[in-house]
Every structure is written in C-alpha cells, then in structure tokens.
Amino acid sequence: MPQLGLLHGRAWAVLFGQLRRPPGAVCIRAVHSHSQVAEAALATQLKPHQEKSNFIIKTPKGTRDLSPQQMVVREKILDMVVSCFKRHGAKGLDTPAFELKEMLTEKYGEDSGLIYDLKDQGGELLSLRYDLTVPFARYLAMNKVKKMKRYHVGKVWRRESPTIAQGRYREFCQCDFDIAGQFDPMIPDAECLKIVCEILSGLQLGDFLIKMSWKDVRHEMVAKKGLAAEVADRIGDYVQCHGGVSLVKQMFQDPRLSQNKQALEGLGDLKLLFEYLTLFGIAEKISFDLSLARGLDYYTGVIYEAVLLQTPAHAEEELLNVGSVAAGGRYDGLVGMFDPKGHNVPCVGLSIGVERIFSIVEQRMKTFGEKIRTTETQVFVATPQKNFLQERLKLIAELWDAGIKAELMYKNNPKLLTQLHYCENMGIPLVVIIGEQELKEGVIKLRSVASREEVAITRENLVAEIQKRLSES
C-alpha cells in the first residue's frame, strides 16, 4: 500500500484548489505536467525482474509465515489465554518492537548475545525486544507507575539456533501477565501459578506439572532470612524427594526443623505459598526441580516452569518435543535498574509459551484430521444465468450493509456448479440464488448447502430470514 498520508498535504491542497477554482485552463495544464511524470515513472517499473533469479524465496532463518489454517488455531489459543488474563483483572499494554539498546544491556546475562541489534543508520542504537518483561519494567519506571496488573501479547526475537521440531523459533509470540506493586507476601505469586493452571487446563493439553526452582527458594532462606546453609539443605532433602502439597506438613514433623526457630521462619513464605495454592486447589500441581536455574539476570525470587506430562503411550521423542509451555517468577530488582533513583517496584509474572502449545495443538489436529474453516463467510451469492453480475453485486451489497458475511465469484458468467462446489469446499452454510425467474417473481432462492433444500423468499424478507437461520445454527 502507498505510505498513508505521505501525499496528503498535496492532496488537500488540490482538494481545496478544486473547490475554489473554476474548471478551465489551469486544470488542463495540470493534467499534462502530471501525465509526463507518470510516463517517466513507468520506465523503472519492470527493472527488478532481471534480478529475481539471483535469490531463493524464503523467510529468514528461524522464522515462518502463518497460513490461514495456522492463524485460526493461533487465534483460538490466544483468545483463550487473553480471556484468562482479563478474568484476573489485567489491563492491556503495548510497547515498541525495538528498544534503545542500552535499555536491554545487563538484563539477560549470558543470553545477551542472542539479542537482535538494528543496523546503525544514524541516530539511536536500537535492539529488537528479547522479551516483554524488560519493556514492561521500562514502562513502569518511565511513567513512575508503582502498581499495575497488565497483560501483553506480542512477538519477541532471539537469535537462538532454532529447533523447529520443538516449536521454537527466532521470532515467537509471548503472552505475559505480570503484577507490579508492593503487596502482602505470596498472594500475587499464588495468583500467577493459578493462572498458569487455568490456561493449561483450559487448553486441554493433558496433565501438567509446575516445577519451582529449589535453588532460588533456598537462596531466599539463606541469603535473605539468614537460615543456616545446612538447615536449608535439610529442607532441600525433603522438597527434592517429595515436594507438592504434603511437603510443608512433613517438614514441620521433622524435629530438626520444627525445633529450629530459624528453620520455621525460613519456611514461612513457603508455608504461606502452599496454603494459598491449596485454597486455589492447585497445590498438587506444584513440585520442586533441582535442575531449574534462574534463566535471566533479573530474577530475584522463586522461578517456575510448567511442563506437560505425556501419557506413556507417547514415544520418548515426542516427550522431549514438548518441554516447557509456561514459565515465570519474581523480579523485584528490575524496575529499579531503570529508575534514576533506583526506586524498586516488586514484580511477579508469568509467560505462556504459545508457540510450543500451538505446535502441540496443530500436531493433534493433524493426527485427528480436523478440518478448519479459514473464512467465516455465511452466505454465497450465486446465479445460474449469464449476465447477472449486476444483480449479484446489488444483492451482495445489501447483505454486506446488513452485516452479513458474504462472497461471490469475481466472474461475469460463472457456472452454477462451480459456485455450489466452492460453498461445499469452504463450508459456507447458505447460498442465495438470483436468476431471471427469481427476478421476474421478485424473489430470491435461499439454499441450505448441507441439506440442499431451496426456498423462495421475497427480496424484502431475505436479510431477516438469513439472520434467523444463522442465529439458529
């Protein structure tokens, strides 16, 4: 499309010119000068053709187009995720695809090498966003926002070696939900875990488990609560070997812990969290993972990752193809990195790995051979006669103006069979047929594609009848 408005200044000048100026010589002179420009412009038209054979047509490494079929699946998943975020009272937010390079530095540790930088074309040094969390923290600091519950669905870019089989790309979509602000301990943290459970259950991806990083919990106890390392590791013996809801109970039964004032304090937050998770009915979904490491520099508290548990029926290979479908954690220090005075805003959040989920759902649909409608067309405007384009155009405009989703064939004289086959292939439920006879009788034939039944309806009742049929189906 042309650059919207690049010409609008001139366009307005002429618009006003025409309103003021009477027809005549001025106009004609204008035509000539302009038409010469047009012929000059034409010369460049075909040049690029010479080069087309020099390159292979492809998308950049690690990226892909989404076909109409894929878009339908993608939209279903995103709608489900966003509606859950809204159910928990989140506001929407959008940030630019790129940030000032310096905004991203020192946020991602060893992963910084995976950031896409833009070419220095004069002006600012820019990088494509690597996640939605750092831009969110930048937004909070920039606007001095101290409290916010927001969701953000958007693409992020990472120069990883892509392994497409696992549904991982260099460009991928993230769905983030975060709670920023100073609140009583573990309440927002528990809600984030609840949201992950709601979404993974809602998408019916099978059984799943949320694995919390023991290392980060232990760090909280030792470095922040001053618990002795050996006591923390005694707790560790429990969490790694049991985990889940029974965890806290068992630890409080162990005299080496229950009789240690420090230990009890150290266990306080853990106890709180599992109390809340139990009230939310999701405690048994949570366990600890010794291997889970703080993925990014900015995490300050517990981090967690959700993994799908496949039935033994599936092959080991498929198991490995699943991996993590959601992750999150607490990052109380990130906003302070942006604030000139270092003022912090505690944050906790989650991110849904929709690409991975998308691959799973897509694979499942292929397995079950589900057919997907890629359009929402409700009515097709057909004719059995030649030279009925004008009547079809008049009729379809009436349908469009009534808000009905309608299509016709862009041909002067299409075959009726071709038109009806198109409806069957595209899953269009209704056909309106107009021919000489209908025109004479002032009616339209309304045909159900499924039952092939046809009824004649007066023109003035057509829209109402169609809307009635659509509301019933």
413-472 residues near a second copy, rule: CB under 8 A: none
Q: Name the residue nearer to a second copy (CB basis): 373 or 455.
A: 373
Residues 361 to 400 in contact with a second copy, rule: CB under 8 A: 374-377, 389-390, 393-394, 397, 400
Say whether 131 counts as a known binding-site residue.
Answer: yes
Say whether 299 counts as a known binding-site residue.
Answer: yes
Binding residues for a second copy, how many (CB under 8 A)?
194
Angle between helices 389-401 and 459-472 (to 10 degrees): 50
235, two tokens: 């707790």
Q: Please report how close the Cβ of residue 107 comes to a second copy at its closest, in angstroms.
A: 7
Residues 9 to 38 in contact with a second copy, rule: CB under 8 A: 9-15, 18, 23-24, 27-28, 30-32, 34-35, 37-38
Other beta carbons within 10 Å of 376: 9
Other beta carbons within 10 Å of 349: 25
Interaction pattern, residues 70-99, with a second copy; x per rule: CB under 8 A: xxx-xx----------xxxxxxxxxxxxxx
Q: How far apart are CA 278 and CA 285, in angstroms?
A: 10
Q: Name the residue nearer to a second copy (CB basis): 117 or 370.
A: 117
Say whether 250 counts as a known binding-site residue.
Answer: no
Helix (H/G/I), strand (E/B), else coil: 287:
strand
Q: Is 315 in the site for a second copy (CB under 8 A)?
A: no
Say whether 300 counts as a known binding-site residue.
Answer: no
Q: Name the residue nearer to a second copy (CB basis): 163 or 437.
A: 163
Residue 330 gets the label, from left (phi > 0), alpha (psi -120 to 50) or beta, of beta
Q: Name the residue nearer to a second copy (CB basis): 218 or 445.
A: 218
Member of 77, 162, 196, 198 binding a second copy (CB under 8 A): 198
User: Which string of b and e fits 98-111 if b means at least 16 CB within 10 Å?
Assistant: bbeeebbeebbeeb
Residues 115 to 154 in contact with a second copy, rule: CB under 8 A: 116-121, 123-124, 126, 128, 131-133, 135, 138-139, 141-142, 150
Residues 292 to 311 in contact with a second copy, rule: CB under 8 A: 292-297, 299-300, 303, 305, 307
Q: Which stretch binds a second copy (CB under 8 A): 236-244, 363-371, 429-437, 457-465?
A: 236-244
Q: How far apart are CA 118 and CA 121, in angstroms?
A: 8
Interaction pattern, residues 322-361, with a second copy; x per rule: CB under 8 A: xxxxxxxx---x--xxxxx-x------xxx-x--x-----
The partner residues of 152 in beta bridges, in order of sequence, read 176
347-352/171-180 β-pairing: antiparallel
Q: How far apart are CA 435 and CA 414, in angstroms?
A: 13
Residues 160 to 189 in contact with a second copy, rule: CB under 8 A: 160, 166, 168, 171, 174, 176, 179, 181, 183-184, 187-188
**What is the side-by-side order of every strand in the sheet holding 443-448?**
406-407, 379-382, 430-433, 443-448, 454-458
Residue 273 gets the label, from left (phi > 0), alpha (psi -120 to 50) or beta, of alpha
Instruction: Give the residue ranges of the annotated binding site for L-histidine.
Output: 131-133, 158, 174, 178, 294, 298-299
